[in-house]
Structure formats: C-alpha cells, structure tokens
Structure 1
C-alpha cells in the first residue's frame, strides 16, 4: 500500500471544486479534490483558510473541514451564504470545475483522542461546522465517548445536517441531540427561543474532570453561554472555543 501524503501548506494553493451538495436553503457542502493518496494533515476541529479576491480586494476566512479526518482524495467545507460575508458569497458563486485558493490546515480548538469521555457541543447556526468533523470522527471510530449536542437555529429549515444527526442519535446510544428553535413550527417538542442555563444543565454532560464542552456560534451567543457554562460549574479549561 502506498504511503499517504499528508497536506499542510501556508501558501494559498488552488484546489479543484469537484462537487457541490446543498444542505439547506442557504448552506452548501463544497468537495475539493486531492490526489487519490492524499489527505489533509489535521485533527478534528482544525481549520483551513479560503483566500479570494472580491472587488479587487484580497479577503480570507477560516473554515473547518466537515469531512471525516483521514479521508483520502478529497476534503469538504460546509458553508452558509451570508449577504454580508464576502468569502461565503464568493464560495457560493463558484461552480464545479473551478478552483479555489486554500491554505492550511491550521491548529484550532480541536479534539484529541483521550481528552475526555463526556463531550458537550453547543452550536448556534453555522457554529456547528467546527463540530461536524469531531462528531463524525468519534462516532466513526466508535470511541468510548458520550456525546451531547445542543443545536440552536432560527427555523427548522436552517438546521444543517439534521437528518444525519437524527440518524446518528437513533444508531448510536452514545450520541444525544437536542434542537432549539427561535421560530418553531406548531407542535415542536424540543427547545424554544434562546439556549438557557436550564437547557445546558439538562442536555449537556455534568461538569467533571473527564468532561469538555465545545462552544461555537455568533459572538453574543458565545459570550453569554460561556458565562452560563462557568456559572454551572464548568471550568474555563473545559470550555473549548473552536
């Protein structure tokens, strides 16, 4: 078997956009081609940087690959289009067969096997993207780790990878998923409004020496919930901001 090539570069490099897959009304997964024997050199939760020129101005933004770490031949980014986001709009305007300049990977708030046996994830909107590869990794490797996800969105239509998470909850007894909607439909049975301390207390693992919580979302949400988590007894070193 040929040796695996592990790619990491600080220089923006063109990657071929091989496939586009819609996830929601405003979110797509972009698959970029790698050589058949190559993978990105990263841990679950690490990020790459997308570089672009928009209206004559150089712009860049970090994105965490959502594909399973160690996948050969391609990597994927799951990106929501924001009208005020120059890079997200640039990506959403790309077509299969075009190239995109990307550098990295770079270390971030990542997962390392053995760091905990109980892991909470609190995500708001596209704050889920750094957590996708971590959840996929732990479940695919069948690690002895219990996972709890609290995922906040505006509406049902905004829930990224809803079917995958709900299937994972059915198939893996160690994965628990709780959705929170700002504008829930009639008959909605999960969380309503904003994520509250009571929701965190009920739907995350309790604080402890073997517990960590990944937290990502809009800055006001992260600031508020980081304070709530600390008030509930989670030490600062156990709260990871990817």
Structure 2
C-alpha cells in the first residue's frame, strides 16, 4: 500500500476536544465517502504509532481532511495531534474501509464514530440525495456534539441527538440508544442501517437491530 507525506495546512476547532486537520491532496489520490487511512505523526518517537482516521472532506475537494477527537487524558496519538501545529507532517496510507453508502436508511453513531458519516452526508447533500436519511447521534454531553450546526442544516428533524451523561431539554434527548429506544423510534427494520462508534456500542446496536428483524445484509459497519 502506498504512503504519502502530508503537511498540515489548516487546523479548525470543532468542539473542546475535536479538530479538523486539512492537507494538500496528493495528485490522483482517491477515496469513497466513509473510507479511512492509516495515519502516523511524523514526530520523533511517534512515527511508528499508526492509527486509522476517516476522511471527512468531499472526494471532489482540492484538499484532504480528518476530523479527529483527541483523548487528552493520556499520552496517545490523538493527544499528540491535539498539540500539532500547521507545518507539522503526517504520513497516510491509501484509502480503505467498509463503510460506504448503500441506500437510504438510518445512521447510528456514538461519539467520534460519526466521522465516517460526515463525508457521506456531505456527499449526499452535494448530489441532492439526502432524502429521508436519518442520523441518531449519541454523546456523553451536549458540548461533545461534532458539527451540530452543519448536521442540523443538512438533516433538520432527521438529526436526532441522544445525550447519556447530562440532563438536557428538548430537542436533545436524555438516554441511550438501545433495543428499547430502537423499538420505540424505528418503524421499518427492513431499511439500511449504518453503525459506527466504540466497539461495545457498535456490537450492542448491531445485536439489537438483528433481534428486531433488521436484515444482516442491510447493516453497514466497519468489520
């Protein structure tokens, strides 16, 4: 698999611990919305620490970007990235990944698991295919919601926020996305479901969907 050395050209704050990093796009580089790349920070001691991150720009953009949540409570790759500056360099691989738009349905994201869906929704908007796609987005607190205003503008009432660790008022929902929630809020389990989040979140949602009659072939997630 080819690798590319990229210089950080712009850093855009999104939340208290999420930033978008933009780079010049290598000639001929291609990806499908929802795909990721293996990324390492070209900084002494970190070159071999490779992590997967999802492209969040449109494939037609003249740049590449990742939108990354940093875990600043321990000394890991995302913490180092949080302190990166324009002019620093990353190395990335070619694009890979199994999360790809298959048709209209419900997207279910937990925290930073929303990142594969960002480029997908931006692409659907660009190509006038947003239709009745819905995003259920679970976060610990309201300040953790990534790209809240953009999703509201794109999806309107089809953007639903569920907050787990905070008492909030409408239109945010307090609770968890689980089998009970899905039973109450999903009427058609024959549609496509796109699921991404922490491993335990993804596994529990996929299990609940299967128990509720979702077609295994219509479940899209990173295997």
Label 1:78 to 1:145 Cα distance change in 2 as closer, same or farther (>3 A). Answer: same
Using the size of structure 2 for normalisation, the TM-score is 0.89
Secondary structure at the residue paired with 1:58?
coil
* Residue 198 of structure 2, aligned match among 215, 218, 223: 218
Using the size of structure 1 for normalisation, the TM-score is 0.83
Could you tell me which runs of 5 or more consecutive residues in structure 2 were left unpaired when the two chains were aligned.
none
Q: Give me the CA root mean square deviation.
A: 2.1
Q: How does 1:1-242 map to 2 (within 5 A)?
A: 10-34=1-25, 38=27, 40-52=29-41, 55=45, 58-72=48-62, 74-82=63-71, 83-84=73-74, 86-111=76-101, 115-116=102-103, 118-143=104-129, 145-170=131-156, 176-204=158-186, 206-208=188-190, 211-242=191-222
Label 1:100 to 1:199 Cα distance change in 2 as closer, same or farther (>3 A). Answer: same
Could you tell me which runs of 5 or more consecutive residues in structure 1 were left unpaired when the two chains were aligned.
1-9
| Structure with more of its chain in strand, by fraction | 1
Aligned residues: 220
Q: Deviations over 1:21-54 (max 9, x none)?
A: 000000000011126xx46311111111102366
Label 1:194 to 1:163 Cα distance change in 2 as closer, same or farther (>3 A). Answer: same
Assess if the C-alpha contact under 8 Å between 1:119 and 1:146 holds in 2: yes
Assess if the C-alpha contact under 8 Å between 1:79 and 1:88 holds in 2: yes
Q: Following the alignment from structure 1 to structure 2, what is the Cα–Cα distance between the partners of residues 230 and 169?
A: 26
